[in-house]
């Protein structure tokens, strides 16, 4: 007797067109009555598209050389036997596709922030951290509109980390700064400053989650006080 399949588990495969015709028809019937799956499909499609987009600034030649050197020195995994379940194979394909995009995320984020002085070791460490978040079983998406664009985070509570994606925000006169925000029982907010970018698009690895994530407008170079000058958008993470 075939095992019962949770239709909700097909959301990732459907978003990446990794289902067969029967599963597609069944899932599309399910979408008519499931608002949460409809929203998740839309968010997955948007976010994977953003992760794959190039940024305007090209990385310098030394960064390209470092990546190619690592590719040539890294043994490639041999193909494995197909899994007994076609569905589990598709889930693996979905996860592999998302994780494969992560390499471009690291360099795109570095380029958008103007931080070109990245070593091969730094790239490898950050790439592995982003891979872990995107591939985590508990990874989820949250997003909101900010300054004419969209801010999205892929968060993994089990890794206490996330990947923040800024897409299409208006170019600031100064800089945008990212923050983790906590609120005490008395209502006082505490702010932990994260990355600063002069661009309205970029990708950033964030270690250490708080209940809220915020984006602020700051003077060029970021906050001078340790507090945001003007919060323009935020996300609830917990």
The angle, 0 to 180 degrees and rounded to 10, between the axes of the packed helices 21-31 and 35-52 is: 120
d(Cα 169, Cα 171) in Å, to the nearest integer?
Answer: 6
Percent of the chain at pLDDT above 70?
A: 63
For residue 69, give both structure tokens. Answer: 């050197």
Predicted confidence at residue 172, as pLDDT, reads 92
| Angle formed at CA 98 by CA 94 and CA 101, multiple of 5 degrees | 145
Q: What is the pLDDT of residue 60?
A: 54
Residue 114: the pLDDT is: 44
pLDDT tens sequence across 98-136: 444 444 444 444 444 444 444 556 656 777 888 788 778
What pLDDT, on the 0 to 100 scale, is given for residue 37?
A: 85
pLDDT confidence band for 147 (50 / 70 / 90): very high
List the structure tokens of 119.
């070593």
Q: Could you tell me the sign of the dihedral formed by the alpha carbons of 74, 115, 205, 48, in that order? A: negative
Least confident window among 27-31, 192-196, 219-223: 27-31
Half-sphere exposure of 82 (CA within 13 A, CB side): 5
Spell out the alpha helix ranges (H) of the chain: 11-15, 21-31, 35-52, 61-73, 86-113, 120-135
């Amino acid at each position: 007797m075939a095992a019962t399949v949770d239709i909700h588990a097909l959301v990732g495969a459907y978003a990446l067109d990794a289902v067969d015709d029967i599963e597609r028809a069944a899932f599309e019937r399910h979408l008519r009555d499931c608002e949460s799956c409809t929203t998740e499909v839309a968010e997955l499609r948007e976010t994977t598209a953003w992760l794959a987009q190039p940024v305007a600034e090209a990385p310098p030649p030394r960064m390209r050389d470092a990546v190619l050197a690592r590719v040539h020195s890294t043994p490639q995994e041999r193909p494995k036997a197909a899994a007994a379940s076609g569905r589990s194979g598709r889930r693996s394909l979905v996860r592999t596709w998302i994780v494969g995009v992560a390499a471009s995320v690291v360099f795109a984020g570095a380029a958008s922030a103007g931080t070109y002085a990245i070593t091969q070791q730094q790239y490898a460490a950050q790439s592995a951290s982003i891979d872990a978040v995107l591939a985590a079983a508990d990874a989820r998406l949250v997003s909101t509109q900010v300054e004419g664009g969209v801010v999205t985070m892929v968060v993994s509570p089990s890794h206490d980390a996330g990947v923040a994606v800024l897409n299409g925000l208006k170019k600031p006169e100064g800089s945008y700064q990212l923050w983790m925000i906590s609120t005490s029982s008395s209502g006082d907010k505490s702010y932990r400053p994260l990355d600063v970018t002069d661009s309205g698009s970029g990708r950033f690895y964030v270690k250490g989650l708080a209940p809220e994530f915020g984006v602020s407008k700051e003077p060029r170079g970021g906050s001078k006080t340790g507090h945001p000058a003007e919060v323009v958008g935020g996300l609830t993470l917990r």
